[in-house]
Amino acid sequence: MKTNPKYLISGGGTGGHIFPAVSIANALREMQPECEILFVGALGRMEMERVPAAGYKIVGLPMHGFDRKNLWKNVTTLFDLWKSMRQVKRIIREFRPDVAIGVGGYASGAAMKVAAKMGIPVLLQEQNGFAGMTNKLLRNDATKICVAYEGMEKFFPAEKIILTGNPVRQNLVNGTKTEAYKEFGFSPKKKTLLIIGGSLGARTINQSVIAHLKELTDSNIQILWQAGKGYIKSARKAAEPFANPNLIVTDFVSRMDLAYAMADLVISRAGASSISELCLLSKPTILVPSPNVAEDHQTHNAMALVNKNAAVLVKDINAENELIPKALKLIKDDEKLTDLSHNIKQLAQHDSAKRIAEEVIKLTKKQGKK
């Protein structure tokens, strides 16, 4: 008897894991409207809110990460891992997925390990240029591994790797410069610098801007500065003496499609999703990798672009002195901006969520379910 295809998706902890997971689910639902999708996450983590908000059911596991500094605290972690794996076994027996999809994060480790042991094909999606610990531990359990960067053979078996890129927000490509200048009240006759501090804010980037507000506002360029929720008060206070129509300070930009459309140069952290978006939009970029991430993966992400002359790198430790002077010099160098735009465009991966979903469906068909 023909039954609907079923997919188990697991991972989370950060937006960098959750967004790809939901994008893959959306692509699967679009290609197979009859399919059933169940998410598995970690209790108390971001995915427990974000996934239901996207319209999917999620089951929470009592999972949390290993404490690498205080190893003795991991006794409870190991007990929770054991409980989680037992719970996953029950979930898989009841749900009976055709394929299990892991996107990284604590819950993904338990869910994918159990799924593989129970004979379910496992597809992993790795967002970064330096593979996360969970996906590295699962490399032998996976049937296929979808990656966003070349050279991932140093982490995973070459025969399992498929270069698909990272899913990105599809509405970002819709923005036009004309609409953007109207939305933000900027002029098409001046260059525009977009500074992205992230939704919560990137302290170093914001401090670098504050330290050079005079040079920025004297430079006859337009600046859209997203300082983030955590830094908006100090950013606005610092910007008060330099208030003019060429400077917008905000905690959040709702129309990022328009912000990107009018940007001649972007300053950003080097998270996987951000880089994938910048590649897709061909934006000249200065990357400031966050030092506060596991395995320094943002530096690895950034270097994948820098090594192909597709972006400029400023180290976090040097940012306060170097970032804004470098940006002001670069934004006036049309030849360099054109080169960066051309080179970053070559690294773009299109329709990533759809391509990952197609690989999932191929695994379903191999299982004999059409």
The answer to whether position 1 is within a domain reads no
User: Are 149 and 267 members of one domain?
Assistant: no
Task: Look at the chain and report how many structural domains it folds into.
Answer: 2
Average pLDDT over residues 201-226: 94
Pick from 196, 202, 269, 268: which is nearest to 231 by CA?
202
User: Are 194 and 122 members of one domain?
Assistant: no
> Please, what is the Cα angle at 35 between 34 and 39, to 5 degrees?
145
Which has the minimum average pLDDT: 47-61, 190-204, 305-319? 190-204
Q: Cβ of 300: how many Cβ atoms within 10 Å?
A: 17
User: Are 140 and 153 members of one domain?
Assistant: yes
Q: Which two structure tokens, joined as six digits, stand for 123?
A: 């597809």
Q: Is the pLDDT of residue 324 over 70?
A: yes
User: Are 134 and 190 members of one domain?
Assistant: no
User: Are 182 and 218 members of one domain?
Assistant: yes
User: Are 229 and 306 members of one domain?
Assistant: yes
Amino acid (1-letter code) at residue 215: E
User: Are 212 and 325 members of one domain?
Assistant: yes
User: Are 65 and 139 members of one domain?
Assistant: yes
User: Are 159 and 112 members of one domain?
Assistant: yes
User: Are 339 and 220 members of one domain?
Assistant: yes
Q: Which long-range contacts (C-beta less than 8 Å, at least 24 apart) are formed by 251-256?
A: 251/201, 251/226, 251/227, 252/199, 252/226, 252/228, 253/224, 253/226, 255/175, 255/180, 255/183, 256/169, 256/172
What does the pLDDT read at residue 73?
61
Range of the domain at 238: 170-345
Tell me how far apart the alpha carbons of residues 223 and 151 are, in angstroms, rounded to a whole number: 36
The answer to whether position 67 is within a domain reads yes
Q: Which residue has the tokens 């970064």?
A: 128
pLDDT digits (tens, 9 = 90+) for 220-238: 999 999 998 889 999 999 9
Q: Give me the DSSP letters along 163-225.
A: E------GGGGG--HHHHHHHHT--TTS-EEEEE--SS--HHHHHHHHHTHHHHHHTT-EEEE
Which CATH number belongs to the domain containing residue 93 in this structure?
3.40.50.2000
Q: Is the pLDDT of residue 370 over 50?
A: no
Q: Give me the DSSP letters along 182-198.
A: HHHT--TTS-EEEEE--
The answer to whether position 326 is within a domain reads yes
User: Are 209 and 262 members of one domain?
Assistant: yes
Half-sphere exposure in the Cβ direction for 66 (13 Å, CA): 9
User: Are 149 and 195 members of one domain?
Assistant: no
pTM value is 0.86
